[in-house]
A = this chain, B = another copy of it.
Amino acid sequence: MAEEVILLDFSPSPFAMKARIALREKGVHFDLREEEILSNKSPLLLQMNPVHKKIPVLIHNGKPVCESNIIVQYIDETWGPESPLLPSDPYERACARFWADYVDKKIFPAGQAAWLSTGEDQEAAKKEFIKGFKVMEGELGDKAYFGGERFGFLDVSLIPWFYAVETLNGCSIEEECPKLVGWAKRCMQRESVAKSLPDQHKVYDLMSEFRKKLQAQ
């Protein structure tokens, strides 16, 4: 039986970007279904992720996997063992998971706050967002990728947020994080990443609409 792989997606979402990058790193053919998450969630999304009702959802032969870091680990454990995303050493694996969790817990909320707030609150949130990237700059050090010479799990987790910085927040981090800028250029040269990043103008327009909806609630 041929495999059926569907990704319930929303192209500007950094969480969904992670899943797209991981699938493409592994050379998995998948059916990408764009959700109207702002206005009209599909019955399939509500059926496949009844708990959180959020994208991304990976549906593999009818079975759903939810939450982006869990999806990326599932992809890594299911396809392409010859090109693993997570390190084979349990300690290095724990470190990769720790920093991916840090990105979700610190960088995402600060970025969201920087996008949704105004005035002094926005300035404070931008500082917090940049602070998160500086921590990651220290973690990267002089390595090509976070795991060393190979593109891996933590690169997949961070690159969508890095891409979002300048698009959404008008923060320039060239001066603050020169090593991360070099790392991001390396990542974006990969076909898996380049194909997964949406048009920045489209992101800006969609996220502006998203902000209006959230602020109106």
Chain A residues at the B interface, C-beta cutoff of 8 Å: 51, 60, 63, 65-67, 70-71, 73-74, 77-78, 90-91, 93-94, 97-98, 101-102, 135
Contacts and interface: CB of A to CB of B under 8 A. Distances in A.
A74 B74 CA distance: 17
Given A51-B102, A51-B135, A102-B51, A90 B77 contact: yes
A39 to B, nearest CB: 25
**How many monomers of this chain does the complex have?**
2
Contacts of A51: 102, 135
A90 B63 CA distance: 12
Give 6 closest A-B pairs by Cβ, nearest first.
Answer: A77-B90, A74-B94, A65-B94, A70-B97, A78-B90, A70-B94
Nearest to A77: B90
Contact of A91 (B63, B93, B97, B102): B63
A104 to B, nearest CB: 10
Contacts of A63: 91
